[in-house]
Structure 1
Amino acid sequence: MTDERKKFLADEFEASRAHLKTVAYRMLGSRAEAEDAVQEAWLRLGRSEVSEIGNLGGWLTTVVARICLDMLRSRKSRREESLDPPVHEKIADMATFADPEREIVLADSVGAALLVVLEQLAPAERVAFVLHDMFDLPFDEIAPIIGRTSDATRQLASRARRRVQGKTDVSETGIEHKKEVVRAFLAASRNGNFQALLAVLHPDVVFAPDAAAARFGDAGELRGAQAVATTFKGRARGALPAFVDGGFGFIVRIDDQLRIIVKIGFDGEKIAKIEAIADPGHLEQIEYRLFDQ
């Protein structure tokens, strides 16, 4: 490949980067993971036969969608949930919806609450819904990406749309309830109310701090409601409830500086996992928004 061709590809990729990050973030709900997906697309471009790519923007967007689908499936497999069929290789033409102004509006309008809802969708549902309802890609072009027929893809997107609109258990009501659970956990922690802590914790809850967070709290990984409640009793001062990477959690400021971000996972209505991150490099990669902002 000539230097001129390499420069052309690099320039085209940079021109598409904002769009690709928007697509990836809508699918993954994490800016750090979205950056990883976009970077992987760049690496795959470097390994591809570019002379056979007719629409580079469409090719890149489809590759990012496939990478995101793989990442979503990997999440599900880690949670011991079933996998979807393999992704098809077909390249989709995304030029019909690559509108930067429209994407800016989408970025502003899709808040963390919607990302929480999207997190509840199966990988193929999420990809179908995001590509069709947010980016106007036709079903017959989405279908090869997720390895389904066009009709099956339409049904997946329709089912996802009903869930997003609050017609199932992942409605705004469910989101508000989990927000209240987080607030109740923090209040019980600050007040040293051991029984109130137990009331919101799953019996098998896991507390998993990184090395830096463990030094803050003088505790490593803990399992069980009793142990976790004991550790958090009388703490959480300076903690503020927040949406964290499309899920729930809270942040901790010390001397007006962000020091810890905590991700909270649920099993039903109970807190089942508390992941504390204090490593400065990791903190910079986490997206969060306070509940009241």
Structure 2
Amino acid sequence: MSADPATDVFEEHRSVLTGVAYRMLGRIADAEDVVQEAWLRWSSADREEVREPRAYLVRITTRLAIDRLRRLRARREVYVGPWLPEPLATEEPHGVPPVPDAAERAALADTVSFAVLVVLESLSPLERAVFVLREAFGFPYAEIAAALGRTEPAVRQVAGRARRHVEERRPRYDVDPAERRDLTERFLAAASGGSVERLMALLAPDVRLVSDAGGRAKAALRIIGTADKVGRFLAAVAREVGPDWDMRVAEFNGGPAVACFVGGKPDTFLQLDVRDGLIQCIYIVRNPDKLSGLSVPFAR
């Protein structure tokens, strides 16, 4: 406990606020900025008038995140190449205490997955806020309505529209976590060994590869589709793997991923969507502004 009760209350809810902000914005630095601004609002508020601190803090954080997202949308329209979220280390579900129930944990992890966060980019800021608060954190509709200054019927309508949108576009398959990790490790072994044949054998016929470098590093500027094209791209990348590359598997965004370091510095993040033992989509992040958290799982 600190000497300041206001700090204690805020810290009690910080993980939830960070979880909301990250799912809204897709970047750790932006989420942390929003949470810091929420703290400044909280520290200067008349807290004797606040009956439910969590609801109050979530309301502030959500509105700040909506405002920031609206500003960021303009920048993302001129972003060089595809835009992907910043990788987030998730040994436990981010933004909530550890959940003992496996099904509930999987549901929480899903809302922070690359596949879902990419779909959330196509929602309006209001739709995204409603989806995050309802689907990721289970807030009651009445509480969401109060946080967003909307009526409860209006929020229910927005929630239904956002849920349908996400369900129509998210991958429609369940994957055993052990299978996904095994395929990730096989992919890593094939890439490390420069085996094009082994890489090709892991790809689904309609596999997609999405790279995000933001014009800051070498990467594909468009989404690559089909096993043949993706295989040729990966073969070229595999030829560049040298002895100073250090590639490790850890959990990011609710699933296994590969963190690549070159000369000890974070260089590339890679995560796979898999189904029926084959890779359906490959996400690659090389924008250095999004790689600062790669070392987190290995620094413990």
TM-score category (smaller protein): 0.5 to 0.7
1:226-241 to 2 correspondence within 5 Å? Answer: 232-236=237-241, 238-239=246-247
| Separation (CA, whole Å) in 1 of partners of 2:111 and 2:215 | 27
Name the amino acid aligned to 1:154: R
Determine which of 15, 22, 36 is the counterpart of 1:39. 36
CA distance 1:284–1:207, change in 2 (3 Å): closer
RMSD (Å) for aligned C-alpha atoms = 5.2
| Separation (CA, whole Å) in 1 of partners of 2:256 and 2:98 | 24
CA distance 1:137–1:270, change in 2 (3 Å): closer
Aligned with 2:98: secondary structure? helix
Query: Percent of aligned pairs with the same residue?
Result: 28
Q: TM-score, normalised by structure 1?
A: 0.56
- Residue 275 of structure 1 and its aligned partner are, at CA, apart by 1.7
- Residue 234 of structure 1 and its aligned partner are, at CA, apart by 0.7
Task: Give the structure 2 partner of residue 217 of structure 1.
Answer: none
1:174-253 to 2 correspondence within 5 Å? Answer: 187=190, 191=194, 207=213, 220-221=217-218, 232-236=237-241, 238-239=246-247, 244-245=252-253, 250-252=258-260
Name the amino acid aligned to 1:252: C
Task: Give the structure 1 partner of residue 131 of structure 2.
Answer: 129
| Separation (CA, whole Å) in 2 of partners of 1:261 and 1:275 | 5
Q: Give CA deviations for 1:121-166 in whole Å, capped at 9, x if unaligned.
A: 22323321332344443324323544544323212222333455xx
Task: Give the structure 2 partner of residue 139 of structure 1.
Answer: 141
Unaligned runs of 5+ in 1: 1-5, 82-101, 211-219, 289-293
- Residue 51 of structure 1 and its aligned partner are, at CA, apart by 5.0
Task: Give the structure 2 partner of residue 155 of structure 1.
Answer: 157
Q: Which has the higher contact order (CA 8 A, sep 6+)?
A: 2
| Separation (CA, whole Å) in 1 of partners of 2:295 and 2:29 | 5
Task: Give the structure 1 partner of residue 99 of structure 2.
Answer: 105
| Separation (CA, whole Å) in 2 of partners of 1:157 and 1:182 | 37
Task: Give the structure 1 partner of residue 75 of structure 2.
Answer: 78
For the 8 Å contact 1:30–1:246, the answer to whether it is kept is: no
| Separation (CA, whole Å) in 1 of partners of 2:236 and 2:133 | 43
| Count of residue pairs brought into register by the alignment | 244
Q: TM-score, normalised by structure 2?
A: 0.55
| Separation (CA, whole Å) in 1 of partners of 2:186 and 2:158 | 34
For the 8 Å contact 1:125–1:156, the answer to whether it is kept is: yes
| Separation (CA, whole Å) in 2 of partners of 1:112 and 1:34 | 17
CA distance 1:36–1:168, change in 2 (3 Å): same
Unaligned runs of 5+ in 2: 79-95, 223-228, 273-279
Task: Give the structure 2 partner of residue 3 of structure 1.
Answer: none
| Separation (CA, whole Å) in 2 of partners of 1:132 and 1:224 | 34
